[in-house]
Structure 1
Amino acid sequence: MQEYEVKRGMTKDLPDRIAAGFTDIFEATPAEKDGHYKISYGSMSRLEVWAGEKNKTVIVDTETNKEVLAMPDEQADKIILDTNKRFRQYLDHITGFTTKERVKRAKKAADAEN
């Protein structure tokens, strides 16, 4: 499970963006229960996302699809690369931060904890 900060000004419609991102980026309609949105896609048998406290963060929990890992490398690599690409785009969409910005913020938070 991972928690990502949401860019200021993007917190108001976070639950709507979480659901819309699944549809727009993964082309899948999420199942919703108690504010948790869940899909299965590519190399992830479960991708579950929900808003954190006051919509200031988003919490993401994933589970790897073991069937994809059992495939020959040529097949699995295509699926894994596509899944990772879409996952990064999805995080960009819901957090408002690019991958580079998320890494920078994560490092800063880790340094602050130490």
Structure 2
Amino acid sequence: MKEYKFKRGSTPDLDRIYECLTEAFSSDIKKEDEKLITSYGILSSLTVWIDNKKLVVDTVSDTSNTDDTVILDSNKRFRDFLLSATGYTAKERLKQAKKAVSK
């Protein structure tokens, strides 16, 4: 489970996050309580919700799938989802993670 900050201008709104999920993944998205749940490629479960104005993402990977094209496609779509949802690039998210650990 990982938490991501929202960049200024990216609102912590579950409906907007739902739209980001539908853009990134071409799979069914279920809404249970205040959580969005889907699966795609090697991500057998992808659960997303908002807690304390942060995006919380919990993933479960299917390690039995060894097809490189599926793995790369799933990872790219996941990164694209995080970019559109949080407003931060992978580099910026890495900087924030390092900063949080050093505190």
Structure 2 length normalisation: TM-score?
0.92
Q: Is the 8 A contact 1:31 1:39 kept in 2?
A: yes
Structure 2 match to 1:4: 4
Structure-1 residue corresponding to 2:59 = 62
Considering only aligned residues, what root-mean-square deviation do their CA atoms show, in Å? 1.3
Structure 1: which 4+ aligned runs deviate by more than 6 Å? none
3-state secondary structure, aligned to 2:65? helix
1:48-96 Cα deviation digits (max 9, x unpaired): 000111xx21000011124424xxxxxx111000000000000001101
1:77 alignment partner, one of 59, 68, 71: 68
Measured in 2, the distance between the counterparts of 1:81 and 1:65 equals 13
- 2:17 is the counterpart of 1:18: yes
Q: Percent of pairs identical after alignment?
A: 44
Q: TM-score, normalised by structure 1?
A: 0.84
Looking at structure 2, the residues matched to 87 and 43 of structure 1 have their Cα atoms a distance apart, in angstroms, of: 11
Distance 2:63 2:95 in 1: 31
Amino acid at match of 1:57: K
Across the two proteins, how many residue pairs are aligned to each other? 103
Structure number having the greater helix percentage: 1
Give the corresponding residue for 2:27. Answer: 28
Distance 1:40 1:19 in 2: 14
Q: Highest CA radius of gyration, 1 or 2?
A: 1
The residue number in structure 2 matching 1:46 is 45
- Contact kept, 8 Å, 1:17 with 1:93, in 2: the verdict is no
For structure 1, the 5+ residue unaligned runs are 70-75
Residue segments in structure 2 that go unaligned for 5+ positions in a row: none
